[in-house]
């Protein structure tokens, strides 16, 4: 592998990592327009394992905007990112798949609009499928596989499919 190829791979890894960070920040900050902009035009998300919906990025963003009102404080911690670059039309590196674990603490809203304890915490694994576009790397698909959650005043419970 030449230095040029190695540098390009490092740059792609940084861009992919940045896209995942942008995804987490958009969800945590409630930036639903920004969320939509992270996806390809045909991009989809699937939150069914966490009690949500699956659909195109626009419909999922609308669902998130409504459902996340329950949690004014959110903080995605996305770790253990495993990146694999693929092939599209014989061009090396035009697609990427990332598997990453997450822990997501959230705080319930109070009736007065603030946030209140106790926290709701869940964890699991994301599967991101990405595509290199003229505008940079974009999400084609996000699939959430929730593995556990801790509810207020309750034990940690595994999620059973």
Q: What is the CATH number of domain 3-158?
A: 3.10.450.50
Q: Report pLDDT for 1.
A: 57
Domain ranges of the chain: 3-158
pTM over 0.75: yes
pLDDT along the chain (161 residues), means of 10: 77 96 98 98 97 97 95 93 78 84 91 71 97 96 96 59 50
Distance CA 153, CA 117 (A): 11
Return the pLDDT at 112. 73
Q: What's the pLDDT at 110?
A: 78
19 and 139 in contact (C-beta within 8 Å)?
yes
What are the angstrom distances between the C-alpha of 95 and each of 38, 86, 114, 126? 15, 5, 41, 17
């Amino acid at each position: 592998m030449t230095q040029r190829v190695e540098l390009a791979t490092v740059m792609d890894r940084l861009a992919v990592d940045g896209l995942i960070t942008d995804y987490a920040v958009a969800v945590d900050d409630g930036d639903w327009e920004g969320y939509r902009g992270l996806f390809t035009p045909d991009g989809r998300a699937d939150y069914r394992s966490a009690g949500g919906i699956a659909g195109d990025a626009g419909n999922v963003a609308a669902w998130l905007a409504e459902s996340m009102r329950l949690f004014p404080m959110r903080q995605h911690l996305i770790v253990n990112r495993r990146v694999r670059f693929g092939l599209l039309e014989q061009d090396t590196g035009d697609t990427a798949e990332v598997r990453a674990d997450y822990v997501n603490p959230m705080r319930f809203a109070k009736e007065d609009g603030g946030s209140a304890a106790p926290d709701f915490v869940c964890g699991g694994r994301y599967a991101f499928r990405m595509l290199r576009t003229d505008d940079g790397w974009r999400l084609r698909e996000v699939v959430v596989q929730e593995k556990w959650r801790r509810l207020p005043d309750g034990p940690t419970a595994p999620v059973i499919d």
